[in-house]
A and B are shown apart, each in its own frame.
Chain A
Amino acid sequence: MTPPLLSVRELVIKFPNRHGALTAVDGVSFDLAAGEVLGVVGESGAGKSLTGSAIIGLLDPPGHIASGEIYLKGERIDNLPAEDMRAIRGKRIGMVFQDPLTSLNPLYTIADQLIETIRTHLRLSMREARQRAIRLLDDVGIPAASRRIDDYPHQFSGGMRQRVVIALALAAEPELVIADEPTTALDVSVQAQIIDILKEQCTQHGASVILITHDMGVIAETADRVAVMYSGRIAEIGPVRDIIQNAKHPYTSGLMGSIPTLAQEEDRLVQIPGSMPRLSDIPPGCAFNPRCEHAFDKCRIERPVLIPVDNRQVACWLYEEAEAKGAAT
């Protein structure tokens, strides 16, 4: 059996502080198949960006992987020396960050930055690398790419810059692209263009994508599967369509109800009382239990594990009995 492209096993990320350590990501596990788009959605502080940074080995100290493993095509990558990780980063895993202005160096032309990335990872001559760079820019829809390649980042608009960043992420034909809030800094009309380009280009280059965002709408249009994160844990993971149309975890269904949509007629939005707990006081048991209307005793004591329900997994004790019944028959 071939291993999945990416496998994250029981990942725990901690931030040491005066009183011990804060656990920002707590036991996250998931697999990603080749060519698949996995959406990771959650509110700020849910640990979605940290999970992405951990995979690509860019956790900012003092944050560190306290336990757990990350495998890329069966090969463990979370404990590699910095030098080896650098060979993977950019070559096998590409990254698209939120703000296209800060992810490009303002002092170098687009050509310099693309050619540097290409030549770091591929054995190409200057001329070949430049041709490749122009082709990449052309692919992401930058008009007159052969001329604009010698421009500086500030000469591009926000949407165009994000296209350049996508070209940069794909420059060395990575197997996996991690896109962390790629459209959050952009206007709605440009957002749609960027999502299309990202999806189309990754399919063309055969790269899998982890799309980290707080925007369910973007996930609905792009991802194959979605992982909903809450307080550093996965609350629910499964096919996008099933989760959006029929969420099982009380947090997911609350989240879906609280998004105002164009179609709904109701006057009031569904609201989840309270807010996500701080990392320093995550309640025992299920992290969502103080805000959950279905919570019962077990939720307050024991932390739920991911329970398979239909074709997805839900971390909620409500579904434990259903599973037990299913196992009995």
Chain B
Amino acid sequence: MTKISAQPDTPLIQVAELSRVFDVSKPWLNRLIEREPKQFLRAVDKVTFEIRKGETLALVGESGSGKSTIAKMLVGLLDPSEGTIVFDGQPMIMDNSARMMELRKRFQMIFQSPYASLNPRWKVADVIAEPMVVLGVEKDSAKIEARVNELLELVGLSAADGSKFPHEFSGGQRQRIAIARALSSNPEFIVCDEPTSALDVSVQAQILNLMRDLQDQLGLTYLFISHDLSVVRHMANRIGVLYLGALVEIADSKQLFKAPQHPYTRMLLDAVPDLEMTGRQRKEVEGEIPNPINPPSGCTFHPRCPFANERCEREVPHWTQTKTGVAACHGVEEGRIPPAEMVR
């Protein structure tokens, strides 16, 4: 492959102060009658992170934490409200310029539901060929066909499957087709938005293994989005934890599970069911995610946090260097949070 590769020390993706605000106001007439102001939802709030070449960064969080919004902004399906995304040194401005079209070949996305992301009226070969055709990677139809067959075999299907329609495949096979489609323009970076959460566990294992094999073979960089911590642990080099649209902790994958710093990360880890039956008790987690339209003051996690004090209510925490990475928590910064007693 002849590609202009990034310098080894520069990250492939740099995201700085990325925010996205949605207008969730009622219709104009309702607002007028009920005398209500416009309402806005900050789905993503000043998120900053980097992804190095060849690594997998995972973003975890519960529903409403903004993980899918970040994914969509990274591939240009949503425009950021504020902040910048830099891909291999070049700013991502989602216009139709020649520079951007060239850049678009280098990233792709795999969606959550393989039932919704494949056009039911298209043959599988056409589905897989589309990115090549649209992005102008390949124009010769014989070469496209050869490439489609190669991709089908790469993801564990057979070349003959290309002439079938998506409904003839099971969920796991469809996700393989979606992966083949994502690979067809020869990208370096793939955003995977909950790629296995619509699949059964035994099929999930196949897809996760396939994704790791492809990463090793093709040197791919992944942004892996999931709500399932055990899946994330299996896939990621580094993990970012999201809460109400903000990153609360980023750490090396192994370290995060050994020594979680932020109280929310600890809470998430405690909530994972104990399959080994070690007798570890799941801790009762207090409360639920608050309404993102009207988030709590200061640190948004303080109403659920066992270590919160008056400063947490008042002041928004900033990044603090920790032993394992970075965390946004006053308690961690002041060193008043006792080390986690992890059974693992």
Contact = CB atoms under 8 A, between A and B. Distances in A.
Interface stretch (B44-52, B98-106, B129-137, B282-290): B282-290
Contacts, number: 117
A29 interface: no
Interface string A33-62: 000000000011000000000000000000
A43 B274 CA distance: 20
A1 interface: no
A271 B288 CA distance: 35
Nearest to A275: B170
Interface stretch (B7-15, B87-95, B196-204): B196-204
A259 B277 CA distance: 14
Interface stretch (A11-19, A107-115, A186-194, A320-328): A186-194
Interface stretch (B187-195, B229-237, B305-313): B229-237
Given A157-B288, A271-B206, A275-B172, A260 B230 contact: yes
Interface stretch (A68-76, A84-92, A262-270, A297-305): A262-270
Interface in A256-303: 257-263, 267-273, 275-276
A191 B172 CA distance: 26
A28 interface: no
Nearest to A42: B200
A276 B206 CA distance: 13
Contact of A217 (B62, B206, B272, B289): B272
Interface string B266-299: 0111011111110000111100110000000000
Given A217-B275, A275-B173, A192 B205 contact: no
A188 to B, nearest CB: 5
Interface residues of B, number: 41
A260 B208 contact: yes
B274 A268 contact: no
Interface residues of A, number: 42
A262 B170 contact: no
B288 A190 contact: yes
Contact of A220 (B172, B268, B273): B273
B274 A220 contact: yes
A259 B205 CA distance: 7
B341 to A, nearest CB: 15
A268 B202 contact: no
A241 interface: yes
B284 A196 contact: yes
A128 interface: no
A262 B288 CA distance: 23
B202 A262 contact: no
21 contacts: A43-B201, A160-B288, A187-B62, A187-B288, A189-B288, A216-B201, A217-B272, A217-B274, A218-B273, A254-B202, A258-B201, A258-B204, A260-B230, A260-B234, A262-B257, A269-B209, A271-B202, A271-B205, A272-B202, A272-B206, A273-B206
6 shortest A-B CB distances, which residue pairs? A217-B273, A258-B205, A43-B200, A187-B62, A269-B205, A260-B234
Given A244-B277, A260-B208, 10 more contacts: A43-B202, A160-B288, A189-B288, A244-B275, A257-B205, A260-B205, A260-B230, A269-B234, A275-B170, A275-B172
